[in-house]
Amino acid sequence: MSTAETGTTGTGTTGTGTPASRGDVGGEVVLDARGLARRYPAGRSGLRRRTVSAVDGVDLRLRAGEVLGVVGESGCGKSTLARMLVGLERPDAGTLSYRGTDVTRMGRAEHGVMRRGVQMVFQDPYASLDPRMTVEQVVTEPLAAARTGSRATRRQRAGELLELVGLSAGMLGRYPHQFSGGQRQRIGIARGLALEPSVLVCDEPVSALDVSVQAQVVNLLGRLRDELGLAVVFIAHDLSVVRHVADRVAVMYLGRLAEVGDAEPVFERPAHPYTRALLSASPSVDRTQRGRLGRREVLRGEPPSPADPPSGCRFRTRCPLAVEECSTDVPLLRRARGDADERLAACHRAEVLLGG
C-alpha cells in the first residue's frame, strides 16, 4: 500500500506549501483517502478471471485551501482516482473520509452530504455540457437535484455564479454551442460551485483548451481557491501548469503513488526516477530546470500492462537505477535518508538519485 498524506511528511510534521502567496494550507483535513483501490474485469485467462488494477492502494490527505496536483502518464489511474474522490465510483478496497466521516460505508441518502461537499470539473467542456440545456439549466441542475431554493432563487444563484467565473448573467438563456471552449469550461466550473462545495476535483480541466486560454482558466481556479477557501485536486499532464497552481504534487505510475510532497522540492530535486524522467521529457520545463536535472532521461521500453504489472517496484522495468531489490520488494513511500524536504518517494534508490 502506498502511504502519503498531503499535508504531512514521513515524520508527521505539517507542510505549508510552496510560495507564501498560495496561503495557509495547514487547516482542516477535508478528504482523507486510505488504501484506495479500484479494479476492473479484464476477461479470463483459462479458468482464472483477470482484473486490471486502475488504482492500487493510494493514500492521500487533502487540507482546506490546498491545491494538490496529480500527474502521470495516460492510463496511470489519475481519472479513476478522481471519480472515487467525488463518489462517482466506489473503491473495491480502502476508505475515503470527508471531514472525518467514512463515506465508503454510507448509504445512498447519507452519501448525498459528501456529494454536496465534493464536486467535479470534467476534462472536455464540449462533452460535459448537455447541448439541449440552457446555461441556466446547466448551472442550476445541481441545485434542482438537491431541491435547494425556488426556481427564482436558483436562477439568481446561477447569475451570481456566472459573474463569479467571469461571465455575464445575461448569458443564462444561451446554449453551450454559443460559447468558446474556455467559456464552456467556466460554465462547468460555475456548475461545480453551485452547491458551495469544500473540494473541487478538476480532471484535466485545461487539456482540451487552446494554450492561450489555459492560463485564464488556471488563474480563475487560483482566484476561486483564494476567495472561497476551496481545496482543489488538480489533475493535469502539463507539468508547467501543475507547478504554477499546486501547493503539493502527487506523481502516479501504474496505479500507485511514486512521489508526493511540496511542489518546489518535487520539481527542483525529484526523489523518484520516474518523476525525474517526466520533468526531463516535458517541453515546458525551463532551461535552468533542465540544467539542474542534467541530460534528458529516455525511458526504455513501454509501460507494462496494468493487468500484469511487474513484481516489486512497478517502474523497475524502465528504471535506469533498478537493482535486484527492486524486483523483489515493493517500495513504500518514505522520506529518503538525509532529505530535509517535505516529500516522500516510493523508491529503494532515492538516496542514490538525490546524491547524484
pLDDT of residue 46: 65
- Please check the confidence at residue 17 and state whether its pLDDT lies above 80: no
- Over the stretch 132-154, which tens digit does the pLDDT of each residue have? 999 999 999 999 998 999 999 99
- Please check the confidence at residue 35 and state whether its pLDDT lies above 90: yes
Q: What is the mean predicted confidence (pLDDT) over 312-324?
A: 94
Residues 6+ apart with CB under 8 A from 264: 18
Least confident of 36-50, 199-213, 222-236, 245-259: 36-50
- Please check the confidence at residue 6 and state whether its pLDDT lies above 60: no
Long-range contacts of 348-356 (CB under 8 A, 24+ apart): 348/313, 348/323, 349/273, 349/319, 349/321, 349/322, 349/323, 350/271, 350/272, 352/321, 353/270, 353/271, 353/272, 353/273, 353/276, 353/321, 354/269, 354/271
Helix (H, G, I), strand (E, B) or coil at 39: strand
Residue 93 CA to residue 75 CA, distance in Å, equals 20
Question: pTM of the entire structure?
Answer: 0.86
- Please check the confidence at residue 18 and state whether its pLDDT lies above 90: no
Determine the straight-line distance between the first and last CA of the chain, rounded to whole angstroms: 28
Crossing angle of the two packed helices 181-193 and 135-145, in degrees rounded to 10: 20
Residue 16 CA to residue 206 CA, distance in Å, equals 26
pLDDT of residue 109: 63
Residue 55 CA to residue 79 CA, distance in Å, equals 10
106 pLDDT tier (thresholds 50, 70, 90): confident
pLDDT of residue 15: 32
More confident residue, 39 or 47: 39
Q: What is the mean predicted confidence (pLDDT) over 81-96?
A: 93
- Over the stretch 154-197, which tens digit does the pLDDT of each residue have? 999 999 999 999 999 999 999 999 999 999 999 999 999 999 99
Which amino acid is residue 152, in one-letter code?
A
Which amino acid is residue 140, in one-letter code?
T
Give phi and psi for 61, each to the nearest 5: -125, 130
